[in-house]
């Protein structure tokens, strides 16, 4: 059932393409070396000669080249803004292939126009982000051979491991007298920090230094088979620079950061084993996953994810997009984006690691479990499918055709009067929520089939609900028009009709995204991301009454708040 008009179908923005800053320390230390022979495209000898003699390299139709300073800046901007969609090696993923064999055919002027104005296929304009010179340099840069980043050994990872609070000094009870189970752990993306916000008082408890552009923060969770101590106490961040931080919510605010390490140059997801013994994180580069000791963050085991995709092609840049812990088996679920392989990794014996590889569809992204905890539902966004994996049988259960570029974020499960238990996803490429049945035992005729669709005003990134709520919330972050991008839409679970469009902010340069309920489901928290003024604490979280949909409070003093995670809901698998 469709309820509102689609606006700009297929039009997306740059926000999910924002990828890791390969920070300056790597450029200076040599961990991310860039030889001068890379400044030229194909005439290797000429490039070496020019670099050796210090001759300036100017843009040429025959041989796209850049001066060293322009090359280094374009390289950095590509990693920050483009690599997430197009890949570090530019072979394409959600975005198109940008190797010279593809880009040279378009030519300099055409590439500049695409970068400046965007495309109807989902790439947004960059003319408000880059200068004309930067656009020209980027067009030249993507016609040159892509630089190949270095690998990272287990020894290198361990050299980054730091202890800020000794294990012997961990408290045996909370030290602050606050209701930590209703804390929200909030990503402050561009600030390189995480904020701890008290859900009861709406006050910011502290800001914790993390890695650059944290993508996900996860904590220990209740598990059917394994049992962690003090569930919900420890939280782990993963940043786009591959840094992992351990946060202890029982500490006094100034001591909540207790350990850190680094497992990649670029990463996206993390998870904690059901027994609380291990943390696993996946790299975008290098293409691997790393299992760490959850107490110390000492890296224990690294496993490459390079391999063959479902078409039998070898993929060097096989990035780990999503990692989750199965709620009912002693295993991690590792989604390898470019190969379309779902890896179910048994964590009971690291020395004899058992990995089941389940082929599905390419460009896996993010997902969530059904209410039973058996089935993992994940977007293969460039294939326009939702993939379902049975984690008990360790096999592919189903693939559901949906619309352009599904992106459920943390996802949403609820009960529909007709189809029974259902789940839903927003889409990066179209203003639409797709809803499918996910109860093969109780509602076999509706399981893994589309139940209905709800049209929204703009493409979105996150969808959320709560078992006590009559509504489902969807953001519209991908729409280019400010009034849509700054609004979230709420639809009724019974009627499937949009009941309210909420303009979360009207301030220029800000966007609304990512909804999260409080511990009892009475409030919905929505982030206001201050994209334009990203260096200052001018972002905020707006709190709404979950039943009346009216604004209750604004939590100010946050710098680029994006994702936020309620301790009680996340540790109890509330989706």
Catalytic positions are 82, 85-86, 123, 365, 407
For strands 523-530 and 539-545, give the pairing.
antiparallel
The whole-angstrom separation of Cα 388 and Cα 369 is: 9
The whole-angstrom separation of Cα 320 and Cα 342 is: 10
The whole-angstrom separation of Cα 150 and Cα 158 is: 17
Give the SS3 label for residue 300.
strand
Within 10 A of 28 (CB to CB), how many other CB atoms are there? 9
Query: Is 39 within 8 Å of 51 (Cβ atoms)?
Result: yes
The whole-angstrom separation of Cα 349 and Cα 529 is: 42
Q: What angle do CA 292, 297, 303 make, to 5 degrees?
A: 25
The whole-angstrom separation of Cα 322 and Cα 364 is: 8
What tokens does 205 get?
A: 């408890």
H-only helix segments in 17-153: 24-29, 44-53, 68-81, 83-86, 100-117, 132-141
Q: Determine whether 128 is exposed, middle or buried from the number of CB atoms within 10 Å of its CB (0-12, 13-18, 19+).
A: exposed
In order, the DSSP letters of 451-462 are: EEEEE-SS--S-
- Residues whose CB falls within 8 Å of the CB of residue 30, separated by 6 or more in sequence, listed in order: none
Tell me what percent of the chain is helix, strand and coil, each rounded to the nearest 5.
15, 35, 45
How would you write 302-340 as a 3-class SS string? EEECCEECCCCCEECCCCEEEEEECCCCCEEEEEECCCC
């Amino acid at each position: 059932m469709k309820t509102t008009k689609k606006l700009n179908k297929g039009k997306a923005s740059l926000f999910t393409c924002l990828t890791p800053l390969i920070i300056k320390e790597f450029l200076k230390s040599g961990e991310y070396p860039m030889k001068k022979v890379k400044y030229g495209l194909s005439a290797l000898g000429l490039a070496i000669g020019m670099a050796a003699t210090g001759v300036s390299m100017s843009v040429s139709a025959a041989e796209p080249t850049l001066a060293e300073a322009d090359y280094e800046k374009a390289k950095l901007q590509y990693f920050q803004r483009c690599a997430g969609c197009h890949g570090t090696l530019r072979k394409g993923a959600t975005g198109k292939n940008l190797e010279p064999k593809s880009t040279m055919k378009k030519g300099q002027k055409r590439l500049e126009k695409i970068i400046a104005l965007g495309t109807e296929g989902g790439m947004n304009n960059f003319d408000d982000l880059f200068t004309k010179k930067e656009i020209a340099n980027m067009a030249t840069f993507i016609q040159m051979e892509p630089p190949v980043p270095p690998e990272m050994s287990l020894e290198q990872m361990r050299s980054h491991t730091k202890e800020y609070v000794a294990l012997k000094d961990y408290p045996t009870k909370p030290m602050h007298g606050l209701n930590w189970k209703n804390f929200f752990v909030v990503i402050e993306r561009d600030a390189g920090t995480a904020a701890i916000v008290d859900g009861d008082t709406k006050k910011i408890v502290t800001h914790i230094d993390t890695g650059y552009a944290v993508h996900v923060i996860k904590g220990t969770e209740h598990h059917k088979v394994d049992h962690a101590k003090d569930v919900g106490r420890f939280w782990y961040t993963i940043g786009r620079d591959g840094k992992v931080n351990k946060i202890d919510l029982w500490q006094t605010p100034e001591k909540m950061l207790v350990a850190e390490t680094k497992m990649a140059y670029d990463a996206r997801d993390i998870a904690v084993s059901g027994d609380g013994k291990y943390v696993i994180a996946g790299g975008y580069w290098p293409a691997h996953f790393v299992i760490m000791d959850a107490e110390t963050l000492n890296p224990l085991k690294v496993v490459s994810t390079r391999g063959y995709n479902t078409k039998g092609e070898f993929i060097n840049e096989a990035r780990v997009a999503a990692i989750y812990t199965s709620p009912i088996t002693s295993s991690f679920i590792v989604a390898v984006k470019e190969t379309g392989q779902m890896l179910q990794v048994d964590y009971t014996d690291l020395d004899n690691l058992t990995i089941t590889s389940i082929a599905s569809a390419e460009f896996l992204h993010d997902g969530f479990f059904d209410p039973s905890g058996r089935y993992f539902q994940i977007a293969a966004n460039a294939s326009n499918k939702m993939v379902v994996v049975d984690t008990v049988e360790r096999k592919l259960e189903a693939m559901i055709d949906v619309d352009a570029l599904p992106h459920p974020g943390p996802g949403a499960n609820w009960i529909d009067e007709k189809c029974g238990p259902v789940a839903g996803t927003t889409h990066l490429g179209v203003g639409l929520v797709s809803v499918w049945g996910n109860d093969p035992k109780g509602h076999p005729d509706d399981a893994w089939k589309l139940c209905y669709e709800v049209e929204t005003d703009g493409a979105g990134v996150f969808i959320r609900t709560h078992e006590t709520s009559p509504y489902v919330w969807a953001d519209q972050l991908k729409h280019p028009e400010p009034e849509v991008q700054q609004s979230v839409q709420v639809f009724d679970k019974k009627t499937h009709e949009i009941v309210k469009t909420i303009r979360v902010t009207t301030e220029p340069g800000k966007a609304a995204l990512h909804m999260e309920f409080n511990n009892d489901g009475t409030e919905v928290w929505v982030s206001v991301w201050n994209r334009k003024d990203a260096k200052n604490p001018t972002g905020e979280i707006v709190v709404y009454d979950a039943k009346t949909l009216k604004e209750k409070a604004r939590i100010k003093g946050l710098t680029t708040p994006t994702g936020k995670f309620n301790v009680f809901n996340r540790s109890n698998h509330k989706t």
